Chains A and B, each alone.
Chain A
Amino acid sequence: MEVESITSENDKLHVIIKGAHPAFVNAIRRIIMADLYIPAIDKVYIAENTSVLYDEIIAHRLSMIPLRGGENLNIPEKCSCNGKGCPFCEVALSLDVEAKENFSIVYSGRLKSEGNVYPVNNDIPIVKLNAGQKISLVAYARLGKGRYHAKWQPVSICVVKYEPVISINENCDLCGICVEKCLKKVLEIKENKLVVKSIWACSLCKVCEEVCPKAAIKVSYNDRSARLTLETTGSRTNEELLLMACNYLAQRCGELREIIKSIMEGVSNGKENTTN
């Protein structure tokens, strides 16, 4: 297995993994989506809310804010408090805003954190207040994973794609129909030759195959090579998520190995006992 290229654009990261079955890359994808711990607001105590939004809506909006940090927090289920919530597995964020004279928008930047958990962005509107309205609350952020709730899902996009393979044979007479009909603009005529311009843009729709009058083009895929694309929501960087996923997979495989080992030992011991 080798990683051919890692490219990032905006919030996205593309990793091309050669020589690995897509099922393996899919394991990493599923771990990123469902099994990595990141912080999100999980409990909200509302002291005062005279805004036009209901408490529940505000609590929901707070929970959707992606949070950075929280690496030193305990996982609630494994914490000494048994998940009830304590300073080791929770961070309080307080919000206290009163619109005195004018209409004002309460942004995520107004959340005051008492630990190392912060909103990824200070410009997320939480609620709008008119003059005289007040909101005062304490929210508790804790670690969780995508399996429990979408607010703990660290990525908005996480996809595995097979490597498309486009083979062009000598029957090609450069009619250019396939170049014109390809929706993703994958093909190109260059120096009297039909060439593939951007292979990963190909969606395997096979329109080129259908329109070719000479049957000179063939679209297939290479199932020993895959591209993983992920786009973080901001709580961790894409690279961090990838490393966390690899560590998690290795840890789970290690656990499985230990279990199998102990079963095998049990079986062989049992055999000895029966023969004796």
Chain B
Amino acid sequence: MIIPIRCFTCGKLIGDKWESYKKAIMSGRDPAKVLDELNITRYCCRRMFLSHIELIDEVLQYYAYRKGESEK
């Protein structure tokens, strides 16, 4: 749904690094290098980034639709 605040396995703080990660990925950079630069060294934390899908962005759009409906 939304990026977890900590790594599920080790508890490292990862929530604050998601946006810079996503920005770098969107500009076409290699995820491995971006993660190295962000000092995400363990594979437990790396999979948090690699496997994450920010679904909340999709869900928020439905809210906008419902809101418009209720205003009618």
A interface with B by C-beta (< 8 Å): 10-11, 52-53, 57, 61, 64-66, 103, 108, 120-121, 123-125, 127-133, 150, 153, 155-157, 231, 233-234
Whole-angstrom CA separation of A108 from B3 in the bound complex: 14
Say whether B63 contacts A123, CB under 8 Å: no
Say whether A124 contacts B5, CB under 8 Å: yes
B18 at interface, CB cutoff 8 A: yes
Whole-angstrom CA separation of A113 from B9 in the bound complex: 29
B1 at interface, CB cutoff 8 A: yes
Whole-angstrom CA separation of A121 from B2 in the bound complex: 18
Interface residues of B in 40-72 (CB under 8 A from A): 42, 56-57, 59-61, 63-64, 67
Whole-angstrom CA separation of A233 from B5 in the bound complex: 11
What are 8 A-B residue pairs whose CB atoms fall within 8 Å in the complex?
A10-B39, A61-B2, A64-B15, A130-B61, A130-B67, A150-B11, A156-B7, A233-B12
Say whether A53 contacts B1, CB under 8 Å: yes
Given A128-B56, A128-B60, A132-B67, A120 and B2 touching (CB < 8 A)?
no
Q: Which of A61, A120, A128, A157 contacts B57 (CB 8 A)?
A: A128
- In chain B, what residue has the closest Cβ to A61? B5
Say whether A153 contacts B63, CB under 8 Å: no
CB contacts (< 8 Å) of A11 on chain B: these are: 39
Q: Which of B2, B4, B63, B64 contacts A127 (CB 8 A)?
A: B2
CB contacts (< 8 Å) of A123 on chain B: these are: 16, 19
CB contacts (< 8 Å) of B18 on chain A: these are: 125
Q: Give the one of B19, B61, B63, B64 with max A CB within 10 A.
A: B63
Say whether B7 contacts A125, CB under 8 Å: no
Say whether A130 contacts B64, CB under 8 Å: yes
Whole-angstrom CA separation of A157 from B12 in the bound complex: 8
Interface residues of B in 13-55 (CB under 8 A from A): 13, 15-16, 18-19, 39, 42
Say whether A66 contacts B13, CB under 8 Å: yes
CB contacts (< 8 Å) of A128 on chain B: these are: 2, 56-57, 60
Closest approach, in angstroms, between the C-beta of A120 and any C-beta of chain B? 7
Chain B's interface size range is 20 to 34
Whole-angstrom CA separation of A123 from B5 in the bound complex: 11
Q: Give the one of A10, A57, A128 with max B CB within 10 A.
A: A128
Q: Which of B13, B56, B64 contacts A121 (CB 8 A)?
A: B13
Whole-angstrom CA separation of A66 from B16 in the bound complex: 12
Q: Which of B3, B13, B57 contacts A234 (CB 8 A)?
A: B13
CB contacts (< 8 Å) of A10 on chain B: these are: 39
Whole-angstrom CA separation of A167 from B21 in the bound complex: 44
Say whether A156 contacts B1, CB under 8 Å: no
- In chain B, what residue has the closest Cβ to A129? B60
Q: Give the one of B2, B13, B42, B61 with max A CB within 10 A.
A: B13
Closest approach, in angstroms, between the C-beta of A15 and any C-beta of chain B? 19
Known interface pairs A52-B59, A123-B19, A125-B18; 10 further A-B residue pairs with C-beta atoms within 8 A, sorted by A's residue number: A61-B2, A61-B5, A103-B60, A123-B16, A125-B19, A131-B67, A150-B11, A155-B11, A156-B10, A233-B12
